[in-house]
Amino acid sequence: MRAPQHLTHDARPADARRASPAARPGVMLVLATVGFAVNFWAWALLSPLGPRFKDILELSSFEQSLLVAVPVVVGSLGRIPVGALTDRFGGRVMFPLVSAATVVPVLYLGLSGHSSLWGLLAGGFFLGIGGTSFAVGVPFVGAWFPPERRGLAIGLFGAGMGGTAISALTTVRLVDAHGTACPFLITAGVLAAYAVLSFVLLRDAPGRAVPTEPLARRLAATARLGVTWQASALYAVTFGGYVAFSVYLPTYLKTGYGLAQADAANRMAGFVLLAVAMRPVGGWLSDRIGPARVLAASLAVVVAGAAAQAAAPPLMPAGTAAFLAMAAALGAGSGATFALVALLTPANQVGSVTGVVGAAGGLGGFVPPLLMGTLYGTYGSYALGLALLSVIAAAALAFTLTRVRKDAARATAAGAAAASG
């Protein structure tokens, strides 16, 4: 006998609407997305200024790459404990906490930390706190939406990674007009305002699954889930590729094509905006045709785009077309990866899995800038680094078409059987 309709769907959003007019899924999604964008804006402040600091402080290519990569790796590894803490304490606690903590390194970098390499590295280390906000938002948003809408909802939340575009479009201009401290002070003010706003307005979803086991035991259980490692591998390529290009593209365009710093930053912003726009599209498509298919198509485009760019074509039109195609594919693939997480992960472990997967994605973005800087310093060319990206994306594509597709199909069939049972 078919179960009554009210038992086959997640009723938590309806409960929320009855409990409080303000605590609605759409409102919570918007607030979380704004918080993600603001924290990512702060997280990406050093990237557009990398070429400037290289000239002023006389940095090597490796030192410049290290400067922009340090916030990435700290923000990535920090997602593991922050995701687990979000499972335990909820986004209402963690969003204000992460935002307030990020204010400190932003102020330090703006007021004094930008005058030396060690100051920049120290400030960049703690700036990585802002990058952990992703591991707060995914479980927070996912708990507010039923399974059939989570792919789109998490994809829309993921569009908050466009905070890096805010940094790319404004940081250099503000420094040129008002001095180095200006963008950091503005960002710190916005972060502080969001910390207060989120503390007042955010609410965790009614009926949210709260784990009771100790943190270490929950992380060990997360490590035993197959989806943790499948999604981590895929996210290291998709989101890792996005992060790598978003932090290193200004340097690549300035060094490889001789663009002015402002022009390179604007082009990087275009890359970021397209990737951001495609992330919810990837989630939406995953809800309809399955995340494995979306991932396969996205990775195939990355393979072709990276191979084409490895040949160092003229920037217009071939190089631009290759980068824009990769931006769209990396954005859609990132959205599809977390649709896969939502499909395969138990509800009370989403935060922990998100933390590990998010860490893998960030680490996937940490290595390429260092590698690209080293290869360029050694060979005077970026071709080998781009060729490696094409090979890695091809391996991820083969993995998606085999193991991932099989597991996703099994989970989809199980979900359909449970809904109709």
**Digit-coded pLDDT (tens) for 4-29:** 443 334 444 444 444 454 568 899 99
Q: Is 258 helix (H, G, I), strand (E, B) or coil?
A: coil
Percentage of the chain lying above the pLDDT 90 cut: 35
Phi, psi for residue 19 in degrees, rounded to 5: -75, -35
Query: What is the DSSP annotation of 258-311?
Result: ---HHHHHHHHHHHHHHHHHHHHHHHHHHHHH-HHHHHHHHHHHHHHHHHHHHT
Model confidence at 300, in pLDDT bands (50, 70, 90)? very high
Given a cut of 70, is residue 2 above it in pLDDT?
Answer: no
**Digit-coded pLDDT (tens) for 33-56:** 999 999 999 988 888 888 788 888
Model confidence at 197, in pLDDT bands (50, 70, 90)? very high
**Digit-coded pLDDT (tens) for 360-402:** 887 887 778 778 778 887 888 888 888 999 999 999 999 999 9
* Whole-number Cα distances in Å, 231 to 19, 118, 227, 341: 35, 35, 6, 7
**Digit-coded pLDDT (tens) for 130-170:** 989 988 998 899 889 887 788 788 888 988 887 877 887 88
Average pLDDT, the chain: 85
Which tokens in the block code for residue 211?
């784990």
Average pLDDT of span 71-85:
86
Q: Is 146 helix (H, G, I), strand (E, B) or coil?
A: coil
**The pLDDT value given to residue 8:** 37
210 CB-side CA count, 13 A: 10
Average pLDDT of span 222-250:
87
Length of the chain: 421
**Digit-coded pLDDT (tens) for 411-420:** 777 766 666 6
Which tokens in the block code for residue 225?
């889930």
Percentage of the chain lying above the pLDDT 70 cut: 93
Q: Which domains does the chain have, with CATH numbers?
A: 5-420 (1.20.1250.20)
Average pLDDT of span 250-259:
85
* Whole-number Cα distances in Å, 288 to 147, 148, 347, 362: 12, 9, 21, 27
